[in-house]
């Protein structure tokens, strides 16, 4: 096994943030290297530097013995590096073959479509990818789409494949297929960098592991002999203590949200009840109906059939505004573009839903004075760090932005809170704030449905756990009866 | 706004807050854009073999040289201000309404029809009735565009644009028919009844339209910043998803903004007919729609800032005729300045995401 | 009847050229609202070019340059500076209107538009094919730019569907990030597409001035650029689809012109509305098409 890739002393800053701080990395042919780290540890940045999408501020790269500097993605690809992104770089409207041909000189100036299709078919067979060259990518499930990316890499004779969080959108069965494909690639002497924050998979398929934390290398180890705990500690660095939710379950309150046979496009018949004083955590791989669930419950998407009742009142046909008035609160996953208007001020964001109501407005007019006073009070209460309510939301950190959303939703004293990816992308401190506030709301008697793709988070906070797969609840269990294997099976879904 | 996805982000000045105008330097950037285009205009004048400073002086003199000229310039500004204010209002909500030309045309026709219907009534009533006719006609025409846009999912730019052409032809049809004056060499209506003529300020020859327009702009600004409806519009213009999340009804907001803009444009048409030409003539609204967009952009989509913008454009045009007469520089230069200014303002005011 | 069809083709030709240019722009992800200005600039440049340099050939070349110049303005402001596509298009339309009128008057030095009268490009019958009954006079006895347009249609179809460059262009309109990851630069692609759009649309303007009118008058495109935009949408962003749509619009206008001879008692104005009404009706009928390029109008985000 020869040395394929050597990265030495890579430094890359974004303003004051040192995303990569003097990182060294080695990959050999026929090796699968795991690159482990939490959100914001610098993994993606490092790979973008490797691939030529970003220029390093310092450091050197050698690939196959030759230096690689000032290169573009095209140069990197020509040298033999292939990057398989977390968010697929595919054209949905085009076929598999067209996607393969895009930007690939070997396909010819006048596209040799037939020849390329044949090559796609052949490579697909050889590596077990099961792809139809003429299929439009839009029709393929996520797992297959990823294989198109891998196919591109293979056909372009890549020697090094970099997979960025490849399993984040896959069900467990698809993950197993992917790992098998990676093993076949390793057998053909390719080098692979497997970037992930998921320990179990890294331990299963990688030969060696490099752990990044806060931009630095926190540790290196061969996988054989490394323990989960050891690696997890390297990743996290210190103990994040969230409020332990292992108190004895309190008696559930009245039913606050009742869904019966609710269905919509992407959501099959759901029946469940949410009681006051409990948090129903919904775990599941992204893309299994979470968005559909959330939008149907909030009214952003009309239900096709079934009924929904809030505190006994039927809200199946109610508008978004009406549901909010009746006590439903919603924290969307896409906080930058949906929950907040980043170009508006904190004060305006706080009154986003309540502009007609006191203290923000009265009748057909706004009441700026009392609105500002209320905003200042909320800012103090929810620790939103800014000078005054007139500061534009875009200037705040992710954590503070989320606090605006929390302040707005929780201050209304909702009966039911729907939280979708509430702590996504937040640093540990902000995450703890979010979880604490949600649990406090639960203690005050509200019913909460907490949806997250981070299983650990859901396990921490929930009183009951549901797993959503293929647009339906595969199962719901109380905290005390959790069986991880069962949860994993549920997450795999009903279809293979 | 164009349902459904994808979103069409407008330039960042639609997100803009009035009281930050100075602090964020937006006014400065627009001023810079203006200066640049005036500089280019100077180059073009030099290209024609004339002295730019002399030409600019002629424009100024032509615009404000005498009370009569000032009045004429103010009259000219009025439709730009009214229509531009309405377009700015729509732009704030993320709606690109370029139908002002058609709405003004229909407004003129509506005002003319109402004026004839109410001839013989006391002046105040007659004028009010005629202007109301214009308002209703303009709003209806905007409503038609909105219905097509929302009901059949046609982009609002295309809907308003195509309806412009249709409106102009419709007005021509009216002039060839019920509203026309037989025997006249060209398409025009008979003179409006005397009692519907807008009074003109002695010496200035300006009709009260400009004052009405300023009041309208102030009202628009108030609605935009001090009412929940205006707030909802601004949210919708910044982020459609946030607006849906906030419970705002995007169709309702679109209707509101478009009808208001159409009403203002119709009012402008009525004022043109009653105050300037004193009859409905063919093609009186030509070019006003695009001028409205220019003026709205120059005013950073803030209705009150549209006032100086409309003044600028109106004075420029008014003076350019004198410049053409006296110096020989073609008055088309003004259109060039308008186009260039729009481009420079667009380039200068996009905020990096 | 044949004359009617021939007239339809004649009217459709400039529309189609503009639409072809628009397809380049829109498939790459930039709304082509500036077609009107591009056509006008092309018409002006063609007229002045032919007049000043004594040949239609120079006129055609300058039409390409003039249209491309407008395209460049759109490319810089809308693509490079990420301003809104639609408003930028409107701005260049206004600019072109003013600039062409202004320059027209400067050239004469006297404040009046310079007086130009060009001989129209004659119809060039293709030997052999022009003798075929019915189709002969229709398709094979057309002035040169019309032939160019038909060839252009085929060429564009080939380009979009079967070349690497066309693939990249289409991909830029669907997912610019993927294009960037594949090694091309979506910024360049879009800018190039918009400039090319300008050139082709400028050629459409040349058809007007060199083949149909013989001179340049203020604002002579009279909204054809917008009709071309409607046509390309109706034609689902494909060259032959746009061709069909342009023919329909052309027929509507040709019908209006022949109103007198048909003796139909319908007002001229109402019939003049026909192209716009048809465009509106078809747009309303098809609604927002799923063939709309997915990333159209969205500004490019660049990792610095």
Whether chain A has a CB inside 8 Å of the CB on C183: the answer is yes
**Cβ pair B228:A321 closer than 8 A:** no
**Secondary structure of residue C109 in the 3-state scheme:** coil
Q: Find where tokens 């393969």 sit.
A: A100
**B71, B65, B61: which is closest to B327 by C-alpha?**
B61
* Better-scored residue on pLDDT, B294 or C294: B294
Q: Are A278 and A255 in contact (CB under 8 A)?
A: no
The 10s digit of each residue's pLDDT in A223-247 is 888 776 677 666 655 443 343 555 5
Place of tokens 């606050």: A256
- Structural domain of C257: 2-113+144-286
Confidence (pLDDT) at A39? 60
Best residue in C76, C80, C82 for a mutation probing chain B (most B CBs within 10 Å): C82
Residue A362 has pLDDT above 60, yes or no: yes
Within a domain: A408: yes
Instruction: Please indicate whether residue B212 or residue B324 has the higher confidence score (pLDDT).
Output: B212
Domain-located, residue A244:
no
- The larger pLDDT score, comparing residue A479 to residue C263, is at A479
Same domain, A318 and A170: no
Decide if pLDDT at C110 tops 80. Answer: no
Beta partners for residue A418, in sequence order = A330, A449
Last residue of a domain, one of A182, A202, A236: A236
- Please answer whether residues C96 and C37 qualify as being in contact, where contact means their C-beta atoms are separated by less than 8 angstroms: yes
Q: Looking at the structure, do residues A226 and A96 belong to the same domain, yes or no?
A: yes
The rounded mean pLDDT for chain A is 84
As given in the structure block, the two tokens for residue A252 are: 């559930």
> Are residues A184 and A259 both part of a single domain?
no
Using a 10 angstrom Cβ sphere, with 0-12 exposed, 13-18 middle and 19 or more buried, the burial of residue B314 is buried
**Residues of chain A contacting residue B15, judged by C-beta atoms under 8 Å apart:** 341, 343-344
> Do A35 and A174 fall into the same domain?
yes
Contacts of C6 (CB under 8 A, 6+ apart): C137, C138
Closest CB from B12, B225, B235 relative to A352: B235
Record: contact A321-B247, CB cut-off 8 A:
yes
User: In degrees, to the nearest 5, what angle opens at C-alpha C45 toward C-alphas C42 and C48?
Assistant: 145
Question: Mutate which of B239, B251, B352 to test chain A, going by most A C-beta atoms within 10 A?
Answer: B239
* Chain A residues closer than 8 Å to B246 by CB: 352-353
Concatenated DSSP letters for B214-239?
Answer: HHHHHHHHHHHHHSHHHHHHHHHHH-
In a domain, C183, yes or no: yes
The burial class, CB within 10 Å (0-12 / 13-18 / 19+), for A382 is: buried
Q: Is the pLDDT of residue C30 over 60?
A: yes
Does the residue A249 lie in any domain?
no
Is the residue at B135 inside a domain? yes
The tokens of A115 are what?
């020849």
Angle at the Cα of C295 from the Cα atoms of C290 and C299, rounded to 5 degrees:
150
Is A242 within a domain? Answer: no
Report the pLDDT value the prediction gives residue B160, as an integer from 0 to 100.
93
Buried b (16+ CB within 10 A) or exposed e, A26-44: bbbbbbbbbbbbbebbbbb
CATH assignment of the domain containing C275: 1.10.3470
A171 and A295 inside one domain: no
Q: Which residues are bridge partners to A392 per DSSP?
A: A345
Same domain, A14 and A102: yes
Q: What per-residue confidence (pLDDT) applies to A41?
A: 75
A221/A267 same-domain check? no
- Kindly report the nearest CA distance between residue A421 and chain B, in angstroms: 16
Residue B15: pLDDT above 60? Answer: no
Strand order in the sheet with A58-63: A17-28, A3-14, A58-63, A66-67
| Res. A496: pLDDT tops 80 | no
Residue of A nearest to C177 (CA): A89
Task: Kindly report the CATH number assigned to the domain that includes residue A96.
Answer: 3.40.50.300
Q: How many CB atoms lie within 10 A of CB A287?
A: 16
The CA dihedral of A337, A342, A344, A346, to the nearest 10 degrees, is 110
Interface-testing mutation among C160, C161, C182, with chain A (most A C-beta atoms within 10 A): C182
The pTM is what?
Answer: 0.83
Token readout for A476 is 């719901």
Give the domain extent around A96: 3-236
Whether C249 shows a pLDDT value over 70: the answer reads yes
- What confidence category does residue A219 fall into, taking pLDDT thresholds of 50, 70 and 90? confident
How many domains are contained in chain C? 1
pLDDT over 70 percentage in chain C: 96
- Order of strands across the sheet with A255-264? A267-275, A255-264, A305-310, A313-314
Task: Note whether A262 and A431 are within 8 A (CB).
Answer: no
pLDDT at B10: 39
Task: Flag whether B353 is in a domain.
Answer: no
Task: State the DSSP code for B187.
Answer: S
Given a contact as 3+ CB pairs under 8 Å, which chains touch B?
A, C
Question: In this structure, is residue A225 part of a structural domain?
Answer: yes
Mutation target to probe the B interface, by most B beta carbons within 10 A, among A291, A331, A341 is A341
State the total domains in chain A: 2
Nearest to B245 by CA among B235, B234, B237: B235
Q: Measured between CA atoms, how close is B151 to chain C, in angstroms?
A: 8
Domain extent, residue B200, equals 23-348
Q: Which of residues 225-284 of B touch A (CB under 8 A)?
A: 225-229, 231-232, 234-235, 238-239, 241-242, 244-249
C182 touches A: beta carbon within 8 Å: yes
| Contact by Cβ (8 Å): B243, A340 | no
Q: Is the Cβ pair B231, A366 closer than 8 Å?
A: yes
Distance, in Å, from the CA atom of C77 to the CA atom of C88, rounded to the nearest integer, reads: 7
> Considering the domain boundaries, does residue A349 fall inside one?
yes
Closest CA to C97 of B339, A268, A16: B339
Q: Using an 8 Å Cβ cutoff, are B265 and B104 in contact?
A: yes
Q: Is residue C26 part of a domain?
A: yes
- Residue C205 has what pLDDT? 95
Q: How far apart are CA B134 and CA B131, in angstroms?
A: 5
Q: Across all residues in chain B, what is the average pLDDT?
A: 86
**DSSP assignment of B78-89, as one string?**
HHHHHHHHHHHH
Q: Kindly state the tokens that stand for C46.
A: 């063609």
The total of structural domains in chain B comes to 1
d(CA C102, CA C91): 16
A315, A319, A324, A327: CA torsion to nearest 10: -10
pLDDT in tens, A14-28: 877 788 889 999 999
- Mean pLDDT on B336-349: 90
Of A83, A92, A113, the CB nearest to C174: A92
What's the pLDDT tens digit per position in B195-237? 778 888 777 788 888 999 999 999 999 999 999 999 999 999 9
Do B256 and B229 meet the contact criterion of CB atoms below 8 Å apart?
yes
Give me A238's structure tokens. Answer: 């210190």
Q: Which residue has the higher pLDDT, A429 or B8?
A: A429
Residue whose entry in the numeric block shows the structure tokens 């705990």:
A229
Residue of A nearest to C163 (CA): A110
What is the rounded CA–CA span in Å between residue C228 and residue C221? Answer: 11
Domain end (from A188, A204, A236): A236
Per-residue buried b or exposed e for C232-244, using 16+ beta carbons within 10 Å of the residue's own CB: bbbbbbbbebbbb
SS3 A256: strand
Q: Would you state the pLDDT for residue C242?
A: 95
C-alpha–C-alpha distance, residues C107 and B201, integer Å: 42
Residue A346 forms part of a structural domain: yes
Tell if the CB–CB gap between A54 and C182 is shorter than 8 Å: no
Q: Residues C179-183: contacts with CB within 8 Å, 24+ apart?
A: C179/A102, C179/A103, C180/A53, C180/A73, C181/A53, C181/A73, C181/A83, C181/A85, C181/A89, C182/A73, C182/A89, C182/A102, C182/A103, C182/A104, C183/A72, C183/A73, C183/A74, C183/A77, C183/A103
Provide the strand spans (E) within chain C: 124-125, 141-142
- Quick one: A186 and A304 in the same domain? no
Residue C231 domain flag: yes
Tokens 């398989």 correspond to A84
Is pLDDT above 50 for B8? no
| pLDDT recorded at residue B16 | 39
Decide if pLDDT at A175 tops 60: yes
Over residues A98-126, the mean pLDDT reads 89
Residue C44 forms part of a structural domain: yes
Q: Provide the pLDDT for residue B14.
A: 36
What pLDDT, on the 0 to 100 scale, is given for residue B218?
Answer: 95
Shared domain check, A348 and A230? no
Task: Using only the alpha carbons of chain B, give its radius of gyration.
Answer: 20
Could you read off the pLDDT of A436-475 as tens digits, one per residue? 889 999 988 899 999 997 777 888 889 999 988 777 888 8
Query: Is residue A246 domain-resident?
Result: no
């Amino acid at each position: 096994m020869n040395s394929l890739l050597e990265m030495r002393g890579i430094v890359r800053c974004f303003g004051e943030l040192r995303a990569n701080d003097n990182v060294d990395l080695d990959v050999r042919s026929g090796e699968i290297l795991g690159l482990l780290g939490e959100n914001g540890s610098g993994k993606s940045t490092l790979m973008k530097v490797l691939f030529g999408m970003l220029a390093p501020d310092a450091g050197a790269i050698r690939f196959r013995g030759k230096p690689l500097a000032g290169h573009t993605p095209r140069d990197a690809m020509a040298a033999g590096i292939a990057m398989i992104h977390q968010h697929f770089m595919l054209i949905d409207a085009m076929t598999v073959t067209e996607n393969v041909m895009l930007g690939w000189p070997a396909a010819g100036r006048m596209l040799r479509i037939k020849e390329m299709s044949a090559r796609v078919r052949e490579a697909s067979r050889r590596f077990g990818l099961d792809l139809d060259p003429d299929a439009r990518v839009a029709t393929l499930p996520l797992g297959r789409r990823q294989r198109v990316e891998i196919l591109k890499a293979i056909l372009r004779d890549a020697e090094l494949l970099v997979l960025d969080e490849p399993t984040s959108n896959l069900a467990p069965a698809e993950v197993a297929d992917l790992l098998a494909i990676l093993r076949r690639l390793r057998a053909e002497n390719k080098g692979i960098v497997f970037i992930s924050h998921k320990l179990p998979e890294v331990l299963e398929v990688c030969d060696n592991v490099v752990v990044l934390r806060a931009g630095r290398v926190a540790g290196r180890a061969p996988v054989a002999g490394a323990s989960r705990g050891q690696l997890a500690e390297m990743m996290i660095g210190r103990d994040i203590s969230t409020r332990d939710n292992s108190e004895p379950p309190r008696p559930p309150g009245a039913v606050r949200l009742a869904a019966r046979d609710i269905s919509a496009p992407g959501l099959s018949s759901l029946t469940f009840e949410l009681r006051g004083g409990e948090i129903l955590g919904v775990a599941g791989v992204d893309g299994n109906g979470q968005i559909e669930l959330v939008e149907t419950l909030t009214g952003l998407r009309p239900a096709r059939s079934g009924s929904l009742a809030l505190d006994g009142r039927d809200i199946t046909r109610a508008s978004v505004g009406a549901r909010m008035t009746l006590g439903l609160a919603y924290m969307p996953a896409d906080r930058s573009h949906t929950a907040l208007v980043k170009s508006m001020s904190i004060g305006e964001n706080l009154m986003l839903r309540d502009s007609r109501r006191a203290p923000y407005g009265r009748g057909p007019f706004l009441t700026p004075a009392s609105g500002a006073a209320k905003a200042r009070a909320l800012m103090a209460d929810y620790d939103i760090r800014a000078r005054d309510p007139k500061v534009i939301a875009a200037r705040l950190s992710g954590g503070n932005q989320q606090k605006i959303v929390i302040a707005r939703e929780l201050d209304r004293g909702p009966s039911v809170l729907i939280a979708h990816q509430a702590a996504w992308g937040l640093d540990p401190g902000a995450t703890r704030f979010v979880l604490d506030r949600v649990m406090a709301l639960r203690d005050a008697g509200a019913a909460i449905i907490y949806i997250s793709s981070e299983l650990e988070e859901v396990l921490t906070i929930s009183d009951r756990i549901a797993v959503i797969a293929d647009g339906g609840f595969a199962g719901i269990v109380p905290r005390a009866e959790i069986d991880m294997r069962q949860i994993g099976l549920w997450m795999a879904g009903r279809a293979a | 706004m164009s349902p459904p996805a994808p979103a069409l982000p407008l330039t960042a000045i639609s997100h803009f807050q009035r009281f930050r105008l100075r602090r964020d330097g937006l006014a400065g950037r627009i001023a810079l854009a203006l200066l640049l285009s005036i500089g280019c205009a100077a180059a073009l004048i030099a290209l024609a073999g004339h002295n730019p400073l002399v030409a600019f002086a002629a424009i100024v003199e032509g615009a404000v040289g005498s009370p009569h000229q000032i009045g004429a310039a103010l009259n000219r500004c009025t439709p730009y201000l009214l229509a531009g204010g309405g377009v700015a209002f729509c732009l704030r909500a993320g709606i690109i309404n370029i139908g002002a030309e058609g709405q003004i045309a229909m407004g003129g026709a509506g005002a003319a029809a109402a004026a004839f219907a109410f001839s013989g009534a006391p002046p105040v009533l007659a004028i009010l009735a005629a202007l109301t006719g214009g308002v209703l006609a303009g709003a209806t025409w905007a409503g038609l565009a909105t219905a097509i846009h929302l009901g059949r999912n046609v982009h609002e730019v295309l809907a308003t644009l195509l309806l412009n052409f249709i409106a102009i032809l419709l007005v021509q049809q009216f002039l060839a028919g019920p509203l026309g004056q037989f025997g006249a060499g060209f398409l025009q209506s008979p003179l409006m009844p005397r009692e519907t003529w807008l009074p003109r300020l002695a010496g200035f020859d300006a009709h009260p339209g400009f004052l009405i327009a300023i009041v309208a702009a102030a009202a628009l600004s108030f609605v935009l910043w001090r009412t929940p409806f205006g707030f909802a519009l601004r949210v919708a213009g910044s982020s459609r998803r946030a607006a849906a999340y906030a419970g705002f009804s995007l169709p309702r907001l679109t209707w509101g903004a478009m009808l208001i803009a159409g009403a203002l444009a119709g009012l402008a048409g009525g004022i043109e007919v009653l105050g300037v030409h004193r009859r409905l003539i063919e093609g009186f609204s030509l070019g006003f729609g695009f001028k409205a967009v220019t003026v709205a952009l120059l005013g950073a989509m803030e209705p009150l800032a549209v006032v100086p913008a409309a003044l600028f454009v109106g004075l420029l045009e008014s003076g350019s005729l004198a410049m053409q007469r006296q110096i020989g520089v073609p008055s088309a230069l003004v259109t060039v300045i308008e186009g260039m200014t729009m481009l420079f303002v667009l380039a200068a005011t996009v905020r990096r995401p | 009847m044949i004359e009617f069809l021939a007239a339809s083709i004649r009217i459709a030709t400039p529309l189609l050229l503009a639409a072809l240019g628009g397809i380049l722009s829109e498939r790459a992800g930039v709304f082509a609202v500036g077609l009107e200005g591009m056509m006008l600039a092309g018409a002006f440049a063609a007229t002045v070019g032919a007049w000043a340099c004594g040949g239609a050939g120079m006129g055609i070349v300058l039409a390409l340059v003039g249209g491309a110049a407008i395209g460049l303005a759109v490319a810089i402001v809308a693509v490079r500076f990420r301003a809104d596509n639609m408003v930028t298009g409107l701005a260049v339309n206004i600019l072109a209107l003013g600039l062409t009128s202004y320059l027209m008057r400067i050239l004469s030095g006297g404040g009046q538009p310079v007086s130009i009268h060009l001989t129209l490009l004659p119809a060039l019958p293709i030997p052999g094919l022009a003798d075929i009954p019915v189709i002969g006079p229709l398709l094979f006895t057309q002035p040169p730019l019309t032939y160019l347009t038909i060839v252009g249609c085929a060429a564009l179809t080939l380009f979009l569907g079967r070349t690497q460059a066309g693939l990249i262009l289409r991909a830029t309109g669907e997912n610019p990030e993927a294009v960037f990851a594949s090694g091309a630069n979506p910024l360049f692609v879009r800018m190039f597409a918009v400039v090319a759009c300008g050139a082709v649309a400028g050629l459409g303007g040349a058809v007007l001035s060199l083949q149909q009118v013989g001179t340049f008058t203020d604002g002579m495109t009279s909204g054809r650029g917008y009709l071309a935009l409607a046509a390309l949408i109706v034609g689902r962003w494909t060259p032959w689809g746009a061709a069909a749509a342009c023919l329909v619009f052309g027929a509507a206008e040709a019908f209006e012109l022949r109103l007198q001879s048909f003796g139909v008692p319908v007002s001229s104005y109402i019939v003049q509305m026909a192209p716009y009404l048809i465009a509106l009706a078809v747009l309303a009928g098809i609604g927002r098409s799923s063939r709309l390029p997915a990333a159209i109008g969205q500004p490019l985000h660049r990792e610095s």
